[in-house]
Structures are given as C-alpha cells and as structure tokens.
Amino acid sequence: MMVEWLIDNWLKMAVPMVVFLASYIVGLWVRRVVSNAFERWTSRVRWQGSQLVMTTVHRPFLFWFLILGVFIAIQVSVVTPQVKGVTTKAMGTLFVLSLGWLVINLCGQLLEIYLPRLKVRWPTITLAKNVTSATIVVVCALIILEIWGMPTSPLLVLIAVGILAAALALRNAAPNLFAGLQLGAAQQIKVGDYIKLETGEQGYVTEITWNNTRIKALDESIIIVPNNRLLQFTVVNYGHPLKKAKEPFRFHSRTYIKELTGLKAKNLRELVDTLKKVPDSVVYYHTHHFLEEHHYLIPEPSNDFAVWVNDVLGEEVLGERLASVNTFEFPSLGILRERIIVIIEEHLAGGSNSREAIPGREFRFMKSVSLVISTPYVANDLREFVEALRKISLGSLYFHVFESRLRLGRGLNDFTIWLQGSLKEADLGEEIARTDPYTYTLEGLRSTFIQLIEKRIK
Amino acid sequence: MGHSTLEELRLIAARLSGKVIQNINSTFTGGGVAEILSRMLPLLEQLGVDARWNTIKGSPEFFQVTKKFHNSLHGRREDISAADFALFLEVSQQNIRKMELYGDIIFVHDPQPVTMVSRKKEIGRKWIWRCHIDVSQPNEKVWSFLEPFIFQYDAAVFSAPSFSHQLPIRQFLISPSIDPLSDKNKELSQQTIDSVLEKYAIPKDKPIITQISRFDYLKDPVGVIQAFEMVRKSIDCRLVFAGGTASDDPESEKVLAEVKEKAEGNPDIHILLIPPESDVEINALQRASTVIVQKSHREGFGLTVTEALWKAKPVVASAVGGITLQIKNKSTGLLSYGIEGTAYAIRQLLTNPEYARWLGQNGREHVRYNFLITRHLQDYLLLFLALEHPEDIIYL
C-alpha cells in the first residue's frame, strides 16, 4: 500500500523536497557571496565590529534559508490551506525569534565594545544591555502576536503601565543615570582622581556607578555623591593619585592639662637648684607653653625662665641670654635644661643673686600632662597629606612638630620621618626638618608646610 | 571653634562614657562658680558626659562662717572663733549625712563643702577639690584647719599657679572661662546699650570708667572711687560701679552702704545694684565703657576681667590672682599695684585711644585662645581622665 502510494504521489513529494534542498544550497551560496562582500567592505572601512557581525550572523543566516525553504516547500505541496496557514505563521514566528535572538546578541556585544570607550562602568553597561534586550523582546512579542492574529492592545497597555511605573520609580535615578553618562563622556572626573567638592567633601574617586560616585575621604570613610549632584557642584579635580607611601601617615592630636608641682623659686639660686631636680616635663612646659597660649601675639616665643628673670627680677642681661636660647637647636630636653642651668650659673658666678621676687610673683614650676588621641585623618600620599594638613587642629600640628621631636625624643618631627621613611621624599622631608617651627605662629607653620608640599606636588 | 577641635572634644568625651560626674557647691545662683557650672553642665551633657550638680544646705550663720573662711583664705584678717569652726563642722556633718553621693568622680567646689570628702574612706570613688579662690597667702589658721580634708582628695585644682601649695596630692591648673554666646558676653546693638544707659541715667557725654564686681571689700570699691577722683582732676569722666550680691555672701549689703556713702554728692559716680538676672545690662555697661577697671585686693581668677577683654576693652587691673594670667602687662592690658598706679594707668588709656584700642584687641585674642568655655570644657574632660593616669604622656 505504502509503495503504491509513493509511486502515485512521488512528484508531489519530490517537488517540495527539491525546493527545500534548493533553498538550502542557495542559502549556502548567498551566505558565501554576502560574507565575501562584507569582508571586502570591512577591510576598507576597518570596522572593529565586523568579525562580531560575521560570527553572530553566520549560523542564523543559513537557518533563515532553511525556514524559507520549508515555507516555499509547504506552499508548493498539496497540503490543505489550513496546514499551509499554520506552517506559514510558525515559520514567521521562528524567523522573528531567530532575528530577535541575533539582534539581542549583536547589540549586547556591540555595547560591550563601545560603552567602555565612553568610560561607562560595568554596572551601567549591564543596565544598557538589559534595557536593549527587554525592548527587543517586547518588539518581537508584538510582531509574533500580530502574526498569529492575536490582539496586541492588552500587551501595549501593559507595556505603557510598566513604562510609567518604571518612570515613576526611576524619576530620581534618571537624572543620575544621565549625569553618570555625561561624566563618563566628558571625562572630567575619572576613577583615581582626587577631587574636592565645594561642600568640603574630598578624596579619591574609587568608583563611578550609573547613579553615584564614591569618594574615599581622608578619614577613610566612603562618601557617596549622586552623579546629578556632582555635576551641580563646583569640583576641584587634582588628577591622578601620587606616589603611595609604604605606610600611611596617621594623624594624632594632643591636648594637655597643666599640672602644678607646688615648687617655687623666689630668686636665681632657688630657680637653678629646683631646675636641676624637676622632671623633663617641667622643662618642656616652661620652654613650650607660650607657643600655644600666646601664638597670636608674638610669633617669636620666649621661654618662661627668660620672662620671669626679666619681668619679675629685673635681670635684663640674664633675661636676654635666656631668651636667646634657641630651643630648635637642642636634640633633647636634657641638653636644653643643661644649657639653661649653665647660663644661670654663669650669671650667679658673677655674684648676682640679690634680687628676689615680691610675694605672689615667684617662679612656679609646672608641667604639662599630654593626652594623645588618634584623629580620623590618614594620608597615603602627598595629596592626602596636604589636604589633611589643612584640616587638622593646631593641637595635632603641635604634636607632630614639637612634642614628637623633643618630648618624645624622636629627634625629628613626625612629618619628616614619614616623608623620608615611607614616602621616599628625602628632599621635601629635609626642607620641613630645616624649617625652624619656633619662629612661626602655628597657623603660619601650617601654611609654610602646605606651600612646601604643594610646590613638590606641582 | 574649629570642626577638628570639636571632633577632638567628642573623642575625649567618649572616653568618659558611663561615668557620672557629681558637682557639689554651696549655691545654685550668684557668683562665678554657679555661673560656670550652669554653663558647663549642659555642654558636658551634649558631649555625652553625665554631669550633675548638688548644693549643700546651711543656715545664714553657717554662711557667715564660710564667708569668714573665704576672706581668710584670701589673706584678710578675720576673727574666727572655735565656735565658728565647730558650727562649720556641725553643719558639714549634717550635709555629709544627708547628701547622696552617687558620682564616679565627685567634684567639690570651694571650701564650703570641702568636708564631704570625709566619706571617701567609706565609699571610695575619685575626689577632686576645685578651689576657685586666691589661696596664695591664706590665713594659716584656716588653711591648717582645711588641710586634713584637702589631703584626702585625689587632686586639687587651682585657678592660678600662685595658688598652689606643696601638697601630697596632685594639683592641676585650670582657668575659668566665659561663654561668648551668653547674655553677658554676646554682641549687643547700640540701641540696647543706649537703653541700659538711659535706664540707669548714665549720660554718654564723658568717657566712662567701669568696675563690675560684687560689693565686697576684696574688690576694693572705695579704692576704685579714690583712683577715679585722682583721674578726674585732669580728665573729665564718669565712674560706674555696678554689681550684685550672692546668696552665700552676707557682707555685701554693708559694703554697698559704705560705697554709697563714699560716692554721695558726686553726680559723676554711679553706684548701681544690679539684680542677679541682669546679664544683658552688665554686658551693655561693659560695652559702653571707655576703660574697665578691676582693682581687687584678691581675686580668684577675675571673670569680669575676662568679660571686659572679650569685649576688646582696655583694662586696668590689679596684679593679683588669676588676673596676671589674663593680662600680660602692656600687651593685653595694664597691671597696677595701688590706687595711684591704677589712676595713672587709666589716664594713660584715656589720653591714648589708639594704644587703648591695640591693648583691647590683643586682650580679645588672648581670651579667644585661652579663656573661652570650650577650652575650659576640654580641661575638665582631661582632668577627669588624668585622674586615672599618673603618667605625663597619656595615649588614649
């Protein structure tokens, strides 16, 4: 039966199959011709995406001819009109799906090539790919519904509602997204730049996402600035990071309270005898407290011994000698104390010890008790260092310059030690070490250091 | 105050988290101690430090005795009998029994409540005696009476180096302070200043010399009038002597009467008794002044000097107590030692307005860096922390 049926209808069977095979062969041929032509064209225009297009289109191209072959074969066959209609719609659907798949792939890969050139970050690229894919899927769905003669209005309404909901949800994010694209395109702010906002926030840019920019502040906290706000602010951009230190500089600060020893001297002999036995912290106090208490008034400080000898005892010559002791020249408090003792004893050796302070104006020996605290400020390079230097308290500046060198016995100020040791900035460290801090007000000293560092950065 | 300074205050205050600071003194109103505590406590609270305030109770007789102690510690001769000491101890015992001592750090101000430390053996805790008065030359009898109590404290705090003694306990120097935003120190409009002058019938036709202080012999009000009369021989000017009374000072009425008698018949001398809540008026009188005087025989610190300096006024003040910390002679004001010296300094300032202005500006800067309440607040925080650390350099 079967054989008889095939003998009777072989022509009806053969024609569609021949048509299908012909379509396949034509497809192979057309693909080769088109491929060659495309390659010739891309070799002229040197388009980076050519290989991508070729790879992506290669397989679907033949698939489309197979679909065409099936479609024509069905049309020339003797099947019923209903079957032809269903097959046509099915072929149309397959074509639309394959085309949609190809466009999604192609767009995704092209976005991956071109968006990074605009310095768009990965989260934004992913978002753009997703939006493109979703749009294509929706368009394909609409076309397929149209092919099958189904109503598209409900879907269109659903899409409109979805778009509206998305617009409402993203009404704040949208300006940030566009601002992020603008930041990426304009290249005015990049990851790694040190920026300072007009509102005071500053630090290195660590990340620019589709909606905000992250900044690592001087206290190592992360500041998140919406991209839209970033475009509205006046921003100073200092550019890329500078040489990093082996160890960060952690700023400390020092406050102090005055402790009374109960010891007093009413003449030079008592002064020098007591000075020999008091702890170093007493010597430190009487040669340094003026720096903080009267720094606004007289930049050149004078030690308490000189002031008392001059103002209370009226020993002007000795007062001048004591005032001329340059604290900056002494590497330790012990040597400084010895120098002051020698000067007073030389004076006493000349037979002058008759003057006494009136009651209530005796020299009172005091010391400072320092409390050292960590501040949040940390510097990894010169830019962070100089910006922190602008922000730290005068107590912090005082601690790293005066207290560390002499009272803590480090021999050099902390800034120089860090610049030379951790940052290998030997010359800058030397310049700062050479600056005599006793000849400046504390604010003046801060300005001087800032100028030296800014000059080095430039 | 800079942002970084405030940050540091918060960091230090955080170290006192969980501790209760109990302040004890003799009055909630009147006088420098009450004024400082009423300003300081809210600030400590804002920094997260639990600071509270109690006062001792006492009869008028008790406060007459403590006033005698006060004068004696300032070096004045006072007739203090055994009965006075006995009364002091009796009332103190009542306070010791009645007062709840809950603080981790008990901060006792001035001599009136000094005996509270007697409970230290029983309850422990850290005890600080804060002496606000000038004890540089105290009456030995009173000082010897107080010493056994003082020695029991963990630390004593004085307002000037010259007040320190050789004690077996730690001694700290903390200067008092002013609050620049308070009614007494804030900026005032010319209209306000004029209205206060009008209220007290003080014409603006001549330079005004002012002393603001309680009516107290230690403030030498009669000496101020004598100095003014010497100045007035060559320069036409007015004197304003304005002050109030404190509830723990029963002597002030008597002094006021004497001063009024001395000024009687001189229309250029204005003796004003200002009620306790008249800070804006005090402020206006200081701002209206050409020269401000503080001719004290003894002075704990002299906050009226600080207030005058903050208003950039040229100040002539006695070289006593804490005044010498505030006035660096010929740089931030003029120091004097007697009535003639005070009169001479006032004349110098009235005849050299540029010099007076320069001194006033320097004085304001000196107060800005050393005697505002923020510095005071920091000193107290450091004091509480230093009690736990005997070393000279403390790493927190």
Q: Tell me: the pLDDT tens digits for B10-42?
A: 889 999 988 999 999 988 887 778 888 988 999
Q: A170: distance to nearest CA of chain B, Å?
A: 37
Residues B113 and B8 in one domain: yes
Answer whether A197's CB lies under 8 Å from A231's CB. Answer: no
Rounded Cα gap, residues A301 and A60, in angstroms: 87
Q: Where are the alpha helices (DSSP H) in B200-322?
A: 221-232, 252-263, 279-288, 303-310
Residues B141 and B215 in one domain: no
Tell me if B393 and A407 make a contact (CB, 8 A cut-off).
yes
Q: A377: distance to nearest CA of chain B, Å?
A: 10
Token pair recorded at residue A64? 């489309």
Q: Is A277 exposed, middle or buried (0-12, 13-18, 19+ CB in 10 A)?
A: exposed
Residue located via tokens 């006021």: B256
- What local confidence, expressed as pLDDT, does residue A116 receive? 77
- What local confidence, expressed as pLDDT, does residue A46 receive? 73
Residues in A touching B324 (Cβ below 8 Å) = 361
Q: A126: distance to nearest CA of chain B, Å?
A: 42
Residue B178: is its pLDDT beyond 80? yes
Element (DSSP H or E) covering residue B305: helix B303-310
The answer as to whether B162 is a domain residue is: yes
Residues in B touching A274 (Cβ below 8 Å) = none
Residues B361 and B233 in one domain: yes
Residue located via tokens 């009267």: A294
Tell me if A392 and B392 make a contact (CB, 8 A cut-off).
no
The answer as to whether B394 is a domain residue is: no
Residues B8 and B145 in one domain: yes
At residue A240, the 3 state secondary structure works out as coil
What's B89's domain CATH number?
3.40.50.2000
Tell me if A257 and B3 make a contact (CB, 8 A cut-off).
no
Residues B39-63: tens digit of each pLDDT: 899 999 999 999 999 999 999 999 9
Which has the closest alpha carbon to A296: B188, B135, B34, B366?
B366
Tell me if B392 and A370 make a contact (CB, 8 A cut-off).
yes
Domain count, chain B: 2
Give whole-number Cα distances, A59 to A53, A63, A99, A383, A436, in Å: 11, 7, 11, 55, 78
- What local confidence, expressed as pLDDT, does residue A440 receive? 86
Token pair recorded at residue B219? 């403030």
Rounded Cα gap, residues B308 and B332, in angstroms: 11
Q: What is the mean pLDDT of residues B321-349?
A: 92
Answer whether A104's CB lies under 8 Å from A136's CB. Answer: yes
Answer whether B54's CB lies under 8 Å from B24's CB. Answer: yes
Residues B119-142: tens digit of each pLDDT: 999 999 999 999 988 888 899 999
Rounded Cα gap, residues A411 and A405, in angstroms: 5
Tell me if B393 and A372 make a contact (CB, 8 A cut-off).
yes
| Cβ contacts of A263 within 8 Å, gap of 6 or more | A274, A278, A364, A365, B166
Angle at A239 between CA A238 and CA A240, to 5 degrees: 130
User: What number of CA atoms fall less than 13 Å from residue B238's CA on the CB side?
Assistant: 21
The answer as to whether B392 is a domain residue is: no
Residues B102 and B198 in one domain: no
A residues 365-394 near B, CB within 8 Å?
366-376, 391-393
- What local confidence, expressed as pLDDT, does residue A419 receive? 96
At residue B104, the 3 state secondary structure works out as coil
Neighbours of B60 (CB within 10 A): 10
Q: How many residues does chain B have?
A: 396
Best A266, A362, A369, A393 member to test B by mutation, with max B CBs in 10 Å, is A369
Residues B273 and B133 in one domain: no
- Cβ-based contacts under 8 A for chains A and B: 117
Q: Least CA distance to A361: which residue of chain B?
A: B162
Q: What are phi and psi of A225, to 5 degrees?
A: -115, 120
The answer as to whether B183 is a domain residue is: no
Q: Where are the alpha helices (DSSP H) in A117-172?
A: 122-147, 153-169
Residues B167 and B105 in one domain: yes
Residue located via tokens 């005696």: B129
Q: Please measure the distance between the N-terminal and C-terminal CA atoms of chain A and give it in whole angstroms.
A: 98
Q: Least CA distance to B396: which residue of chain A?
A: A373
Residues B66 and B199 in one domain: no
- What local confidence, expressed as pLDDT, does residue B272 receive? 93
Tell me if B8 and A253 make a contact (CB, 8 A cut-off).
yes
Report pTM.
Answer: 0.72
Q: Least CA distance to B362: which residue of chain A?
A: A297
Averaged in consecutive runs of 10 residues, what is the pLDDT profile of chain A (458 residues)?
Answer: 75 81 86 85 76 80 85 83 87 90 88 75 76 88 87 82 81 75 75 87 86 87 87 84 91 93 94 95 92 67 86 90 91 93 93 80 92 92 94 92 89 94 94 91 92 92
Tell me if A393 and B332 make a contact (CB, 8 A cut-off).
no
Question: What percent helix, strand, coil does chain A show, rounded to 5?
Answer: 65, 15, 25
Tell me if B332 and A366 make a contact (CB, 8 A cut-off).
no
Contact with chain B for residue A293, Cβ under 8 A? yes
Residues B143 and B37 in one domain: yes
Of the partner residues A297, A360, A395, the one whose CB lies closest to the CB of residue B8: A395
- What local confidence, expressed as pLDDT, does residue A72 receive? 86
Neighbours of A360 (CB within 10 A): 16
Give whole-number Cα distances, B252 to B71, B255, B362, in Å: 13, 5, 34
Q: A157: distance to nearest CA of chain B, Å?
A: 56
Q: In what order do the strands lie in the sheet with B291-294?
A: B269-273, B238-243, B208-212, B291-294, B315-318, B334-336
Residues B163 and B196 in one domain: no
The answer as to whether B393 is a domain residue is: no
Fold of A186-237: SH3 type barrels. (2.30.30)
Residues B71 and B42 in one domain: yes
One-character DSSP codes across B32-50: HHHHHHHHHHHHHHHTT-E
Q: What are phi and psi of A114, to 5 degrees?
A: -90, -35
pLDDT confidence band for B253 (50 / 70 / 90): confident
Domain hosting B299: range is: 190-370
Contact with chain B for residue A295, Cβ under 8 A? yes
- What local confidence, expressed as pLDDT, does residue B248 receive? 57
At residue A194, the 3 state secondary structure works out as strand
Residues in A touching B2 (Cβ below 8 Å) = 393
**Which residues face B301 on adjacent strands?**
none
Q: A279: distance to nearest CA of chain B, Å?
A: 10
Residue B179: is its pLDDT beyond 70? yes
Q: Where are the alpha helices (DSSP H) in A315-404?
A: 316-323, 333-349, 382-391, 394-398
At residue A425, the 3 state secondary structure works out as coil
The answer as to whether B396 is a domain residue is: no
Residues in A touching B7 (Cβ below 8 Å) = 375-376, 393
At residue A395, the 3 state secondary structure works out as helix
Residues B103 and B226 in one domain: no
Rounded Cα gap, residues B131 and B111, in angstroms: 7
Residues in A touching B173 (Cβ below 8 Å) = 257-260, 366
Of the partner residues A258, A279, A374, the one whose CB lies closest to the CB of residue B172: A258
Contact with chain B for residue A253, Cβ under 8 A? yes
- What local confidence, expressed as pLDDT, does residue A4 receive? 79
Q: B169: distance to nearest CA of chain A, Å?
A: 10
One-character DSSP codes across A290-304: HHHHSTTT-SS---H
Neighbours of A378 (CB within 10 A): 18
Rounded Cα gap, residues A426 and A423, in angstroms: 8
